[in-house]
Structure 1
Amino acid sequence: MPIGSSIKINDISIYYEEYKHPNALNTIVLIHGFLSSSFSFRRLIPYLEKDVNIVSIDFPPFGKSGKSLKFSYTYANIASTILELLDTLGYKNIIATGHSMGGQIVLNMSIQRPEFIKKAILISCSGYVPRAKLPLRMLTYVPFIGRFIKLYLEKSGVEGNLNIVVYDKSIIDEKMIKGYEEPFHHNEIFRALAKMLRHREGDLAPVSLQSIQTPCLLLWGDHDTIVPLNIGNRLAYDLPNSSLVVIKNTGHLLPEEKPKEVYDEIIRFI
């Protein structure tokens, strides 16, 4: 059973879950994607916890972590906050695993502390997305912008979004819908999302990616319509010490759709 805790780092509450293995030498850190939380790894963790220590983190403003309007929601700051959390918890030999936007955070962690991140696993990792244009960033200063963001996200609803991000629609059930829906019952997240849109720098440029020497495993679904496979191919080209594995008949939510296959590739890699 996980031990869920919250701790204040960089003036914001960070929620994390620990799955401790008595004999494991390595620790896998799980970092979810945009509009998600540690819930997205619920089907992968039961496989991994047999072999390694696990720390699954809700990065702000998502999940059960803080949504402070004073926090700077840049990739660089989120990455440094997670690194400080791991230092505080005393972990070493880190294998950092990021899904989607979480992959960009992992890459930033690898740049900031290359000696600390032993290996990186990038699952359907976002890439090459530029910073939001100035007019869009200026809109985030509009009063009640949080309400507009909430209305925009509610258009398709959680179930509609899940139908877009998974290949096998049969895995979508009430538990899955409720799990991805729960964080959005709290209105403070929408104002924080406006700040994230304002703060978020662009994804790492090729010159930065090419400087990363950390061994990287890239895992991709062949039917990913959110971050298409061509992004995985570009990342595999730009990351000098990387390999790309494509999993068949799978969409964007690899840890939900093919947890056993993802586990097998991770264990082979580490």
Structure 2
Amino acid sequence: METKTQPLLTPAYRKRIGELDLYYEDYPHRNPDAQVLILIHGFLSSTISFRKLIPHLAEDYHVVAIDLPGFGKSEKSKTFTYSLASYGKLVLSFIKEMGWRDVILIGHSMGGQVALHASRQDGKLISKLVLLGCCGYIKRARSTMICCSYLPFFSWGLKRWVLKKDLRNNLSGVLHNIDLVTEDMIKEYRAQFLEDGFFDSLIRLLRHREGDLKPFELNTIVHPILLIHGNDDKVIPLTTGKRLHSDLKNSRLIVYKDAGHLIMEEKPLDLARDIKQFISSEKEALQTSV
């Protein structure tokens, strides 16, 4: 029988990291020495995408979810460089500011690439990675598109185009089970589109985002990595997950049946189970080696 976990109250905080105002949600465990998990959302998303997964992980771990700059409730900075490398550096700065070590990063989609960048930049602060529907091998935007982003009213046109789109259809496209799309879900995911500066930040991300990590760069990552992918992911196809598994030498790949890209909405219990098993098995392996 499927067990239900009671929803948690959202403990929302803001922290100044350098010149940035970062929004995060902190779910501490009753054990002060509990493993810290940091959740990193994907493109066009925010901490809201982990809403179903957090209660299950918080049973055993100290869980923290962050909004990357430009998304959710974090600052829409006009000076921040919106690149994957900068996002990775910011995550590491946040970890250092909080005084944590041996953190586990859990990244969804673009957030997976951010986690990989953080891993390469300072592996000492991180113990392992969990990548959910991780994107990969995406190239930088074409120079013509980047040039167009400087045209007058480009931001206005982007905002008008996005807000005219049917969000119900968009959410249905990232799920296998479209019955999960409700009016409340649409309202929650749409909220950040109405934030001041959101579309200007998207344009800066278009300009600044470098291509995803190349195979030879992925080969250098030594952290244990759990890859979880939906077999019906229409945004980041399973072939990408399999290729990442091949290029990330210390990785394991789990494929979920009847799951799309927004895997946290569809399979929170399965995710929590597999993440917990991954963490515990790694600890057991370490203890055995010692």
Given the two structures, how large is their TM-score scaled by the length of structure 2?
0.91
| Structure 1 counterpart of 2:43 | 34
2:63 to 45, 54, 67: 54
SS of match in other structure, 1:115: helix
**1:214-253 aligned within 5 A:** 214-253=223-262
Distance of 1:66 and 1:144 partners within structure 2 = 22
| Runs (4+) off by over 4 Å | none
CA contact (8 A) 1:95 1:120 kept: yes
2:75 to 66, 69, 89: 66
The percentage of aligned residue pairs carrying the same residue is 41
Count the aligned residue pairs. Answer: 270
Residues 62, 90 of structure 1: alpha-carbon distance in 2 compared, 3 angstrom cutoff: same
Unaligned runs of 5+ in 1: none
| Structure 1 counterpart of 2:22 | 14
Letter of the 2:132 partner, please give it: I
Distance of 2:157 and 2:271 partners within structure 1 = 37
CA contact (8 A) 2:175 2:260 kept: yes
Given the two structures, how large is their TM-score scaled by the length of structure 1?
0.98
| Structure 2 counterpart of 1:89 | 98
Distance of 2:157 and 2:219 partners within structure 1 = 38
Alpha-carbon shift at residue 149 of structure 1 (Å): 1.4
Alpha-carbon shift at residue 151 of structure 1 (Å): 2.3
| Structure 1 counterpart of 2:167 | 158
**1:251-270 aligned within 5 A:** 251-270=260-279
SS of match in other structure, 1:65: coil
Alpha-carbon shift at residue 111 of structure 1 (Å): 0.3
Alpha-carbon shift at residue 187 of structure 1 (Å): 3.9
Unaligned runs of 5+ in 2: 1-8, 280-290
Larger radius of gyration: 2
Alpha-carbon shift at residue 22 of structure 1 (Å): 2.1
Letter of the 1:193 partner, please give it: L
* 1:5-39 CA-partner distances (Å, limit 9, x unpaired): 11121311110010000215311100001000000
Stretch of structure 1 that moved more, 98-107 or 178-187: 178-187
* 1:31-63 CA-partner distances (Å, limit 9, x unpaired): 001000000000001100000001100001000
| Structure 1 counterpart of 2:204 | 195
CA contact (8 A) 1:145 1:191 kept: no
Alpha-carbon shift at residue 84 of structure 1 (Å): 0.7
Alpha-carbon shift at residue 204 of structure 1 (Å): 0.3
Letter of the 2:260 partner, please give it: G
CA contact (8 A) 2:102 2:124 kept: no
